[in-house]
């Protein structure tokens, strides 16, 4: 199409006089005109100039109009160009051949010049409308593909957020999703520092690492600081945007000078946790409304996930304190200063983590199992609350009768926790693990333990882990009837009991990480005045 916008016409005819007359009338009507004298020239000119309409004579030397029309329609580069065919032949079969070749119109010579101008305008208008519709369809298809892609990215993001267990995972997911959803090449995630007065850059793409470490923005400073303070989203189209009433600002600082930019707050339950900056789109255009909403959704979902993670952390800490407090009831009558429960919980977690890392008990141990065993381990001796004081705190060795009574603490603990599980309808995995540990942590791998004489895999895995953790702590702690053994002595005793008292796979994990056990023992040692109850 020419600059005036009316259109470009290619006239193909070997009659110079007719060609001259047609050119004159079409140019007078405002069209830009090219000419060719035969079909071969027409094909070459059409490919090069891409006219809006071809007016083609049928009878020409070198290549006739029917052949040229077929060639034009077979070529993807010219198939879209409409053809008006001119001929002196007026038989029906001639008309059919022209239409079958691909012509849109068929005019018989001689023709009226006003008629051919009207036909050219009509064909050109229809072709233009068709191209506009095709272009609109292409844009719509492109938009649908882009929106579908963003929705898929958001769906995958939401699923990943639900599975994320650490703050680092969530921060990584936020930045990655913003990149994948918008195609932006520069993204930064700035989170509030401990004071809540400044933002520090914790994740970034497209920014030099040396710059990332220096990025710190005060509340109310720059775009990020204003968004952090207000909780609103800011969109900047150019570096000189300063229309504050519309919520669009420039974003300039020592480390940033790029637009278009979207800065969204990470807010949950009225608290702004940070801001997400997205800029430098791969495509040279501003962010669409759908992209802006997508970025807001990414920020909102990330904030909710971070908030839930923090709430779970606090709840877990509360549950851990509560379980340790309940577990300590069995020791309360003896001495409140013992860190036995804390140590056993840490030993059990360490063992479970090493087993997971080693690929042992695949399908049984995962991150959730590790979290639960740390919470459940302190409940291993909860049943001792039902043992009489004169047996529990006896300074010397127990008689056979007293020892049999002491052993009932496993069954007492099981009954107490079973009643608790009944109150939940049996759908409490943590309580189930507590019950398994309390009931079976004195079973032996060789089947010579109590209370049920279980062996090997008959013993719940959590109980087998806690059995070793509890034994190590008992060996290395002061008891009323003995001094504490050294770490090395404990390691040797556990090594000798592999396959007898303890699961060999768990012993192997212990031996591989025994130095970490020693570190926990030293870091969480009892005060010297501590006198443990008799451990059985």
The answer to whether residue 282 scores a pLDDT higher than 50 is yes
Per-residue pLDDT tens over the stretch 94-151: 778 888 888 888 887 787 888 888 888 888 888 888 888 988 998 888 888 888 888 8
The pLDDT of 503-510, averaged and rounded, is 97
Does domain 167-304 correspond to CATH entry 3.30.450.40?
yes
Q: What is the pLDDT of residue 289?
A: 87
C-alpha distances out from residue 384 to 184, 418, 478, Å:
61, 16, 19
In this prediction, what percent of the chain has a pLDDT beyond 90?
44
User: How many Cβ atoms are within 10 Å of 334's Cβ, its own excluded?
Assistant: 19
**Options 3.40.50.720, 1.10.3720.10, 1.10.3210.10, 3.40.50.880; which CATH number does 333-523 get?**
1.10.3210.10
Q: Where are the CATH 3.30.450.40 domain residues in the chain? A: 167-304
The helix/strand/coil state of 428 is: coil
Question: Which strand (E) or helix (H) includes residue 515?
Answer: helix 514-523
If we measure between CA atoms, which residue out of 477, 474, 472 comes closest to residue 492?
472
DSSP state of 201: E
Other CB atoms within a 10 A radius of the CB of residue 502 amount to 23
- Entry field: residues in the chain: 536
Instruction: Examine residue 232 and say whether the peptide bond preceding it is cis (omega within 30 degrees of 0).
Output: no
SS (H, E, C) 29-67: CCCEEEEECCHHHHHHHHHHHCCCEEEEECCCCCCCHHH
Question: DSSP for 57-116?
Answer: ESS-SSS-HHHHHHHHHHSTTTTTS-EEEEES---HHHHHHHHHHT-SEEEESS--HHHH
- For CATH 1.10.3210.10, the residue range(s) in the chain are 333-523
Judge whether 18 and 56 are in contact, CB under 8 Å: no
Q: What is the pLDDT of residues 301-350, one digit of tens each?
A: 999 999 998 888 887 777 667 766 676 666 655 553 368 888 999 999 99
Question: Does the pTM exceed 0.85?
Answer: no
Beta strand 261-268 pairing with 234-236: antiparallel
Residue 189 CA to residue 173 CA, distance in Å, equals: 11
CA angle 63, 66, 72 (to 5 degrees): 85
Maximum Cα–Cα distance for the chain, whole Å? Answer: 131
For residues 378 and 469, give the distance between their C-alpha atoms in angstroms, rounded to a whole number: 11
Model confidence band, residue 355 (pLDDT cutoffs 50, 70, 90): very high
**Do 472 and 492 meet the contact criterion of CB atoms below 8 Å apart?**
no
Under 8 Å between Cβ of 291 and 154: no
Cβ(261)–Cβ(278) below 8 Å: yes
Over residues 379-400, mean pLDDT:
86
* φ/ψ of residue 84, rounded to 5: -105, 120
Q: Which residue has the higher pLDDT, 437 or 186?
A: 437
**What gap in Å lies between CA 298 and CA 319, rounded to an integer?**
31
Q: Tens of pLDDT along 43-58?
A: 999 999 999 999 999 8
Q: Report yes or no: 42 and 68 within 8 Å, Cβ to Cβ.
A: yes
Answer whether residue 221 shows pLDDT above 80.
yes
CA distance 441 to 501: 11
Judge contact between 116 and 55, C-beta under 8 A.
yes
Topology of domain 8-133, per CATH? Rossmann fold (3.40.50)
- The b-or-e profile of 429-460 (16+ CB within 10 A means b, else e) is ebbbbbbbbbbbbbbbbeeebbeeebeeeebb
């Amino acid at each position: 199409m020419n600059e005036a916008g009316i259109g470009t016409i290619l006239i193909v005819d070997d009659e110079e006089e007719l060609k001259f007359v047609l050119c004159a009338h079409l140019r007078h009507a405002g069209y830009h005109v090219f000419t060719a004298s035969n079909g071969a020239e027409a094909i070459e000119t059409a490919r090069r100039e891409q006219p809006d309409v071809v007016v083609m004579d049928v009878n020409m030397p070198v290549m006739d109009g029917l052949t040229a029309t077929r060639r034009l329609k077979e070529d993807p580069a010219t198939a879209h160009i409409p053809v008006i065919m001119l001929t002196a032949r007026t038989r029906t079969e001639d008309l059919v051949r022209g239409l079958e070749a691909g012509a849109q119109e068929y005019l018989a010579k001689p023709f009226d010049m006003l008629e051919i101008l009207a036909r050219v305008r009509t064909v050109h208008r229809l072709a233009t409308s068709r191209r506009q519709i095709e272009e609109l369809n292409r844009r719509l298809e492109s938009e649908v593909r882009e929106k579908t892609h963003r929705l898929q990215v958001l769906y995958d993001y939401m699923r990943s957020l639900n599975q994320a267990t650490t703050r680092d995972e969530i921060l990584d997911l936020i930045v990655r999703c913003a990149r994948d959803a918008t195609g932006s090449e520069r993204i930064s995630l700035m989170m509030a520092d401990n004071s809540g007065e400044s933002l520090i850059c914790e994740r970034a793409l497209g920014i030099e690492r040396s710059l990332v470490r220096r990025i710190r923005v005060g509340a109310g400073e720059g775009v990020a600081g204003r968004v952090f303070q207000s909780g609103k989203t800011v969109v900047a189209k150019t570096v000189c945007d300063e229309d504050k009433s519309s919520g669009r600002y420039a974003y300039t600082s020592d480390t940033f000078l790029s637009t278009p930019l979207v800065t969204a707050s990470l807010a949950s339950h009225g608290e702004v946790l940070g801001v997400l900056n997205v800029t430098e789109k791969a495509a040279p255009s501003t962010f669409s409304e759908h992209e802006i909403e997508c970025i807001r959704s990414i920020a909102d979902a990330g904030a909710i996930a971070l908030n839930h993670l923090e709430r779970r952390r606090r709840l877990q800490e509360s549950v851990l304190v509560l379980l340790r407090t309940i577990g300590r009831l069995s020791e309360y009558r003896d001495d409140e200063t013992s860190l036995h429960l804390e140590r056993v919980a840490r030993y059990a977690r360490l063992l479970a983590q090493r087993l997971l890392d080693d690929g042992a008990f695949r399908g049984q141990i995962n991150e959730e199992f590790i979290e639960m065993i740390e919470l459940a381990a302190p409940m291993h001796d909860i049943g001792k609350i039902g043992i009489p004081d004169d047996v529990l705190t006896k300074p010397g060795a127990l008689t056979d009768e007293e020892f049999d009574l002491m052993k009932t603490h496993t069954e007492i603990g099981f009954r107490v926790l079973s009643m608790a599980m009944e109150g939940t309808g049996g759908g409490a995995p943590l309580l189930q693990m507590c019950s398994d540990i309390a009931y079976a942590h004195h079973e032996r791998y060789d089947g010579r333990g109590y209370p049920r004489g279980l062996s090997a895999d008959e013993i719940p895995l959590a109980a087998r882990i806690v059995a070793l953790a509890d034994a190590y702590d008992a060996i290395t702690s002061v008891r009323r009837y003995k001094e504490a053994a050294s770490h090395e002595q404990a390691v040797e005793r556990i090594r000798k009991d592999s396959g007898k008292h303890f699961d060999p796979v768990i012993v192997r994990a212990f031996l591989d990480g025994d130095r970490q056990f020693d570190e926990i023992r030293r870091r969480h040692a009892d005060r010297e005045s501590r006198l443990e109850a008799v451990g059985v």
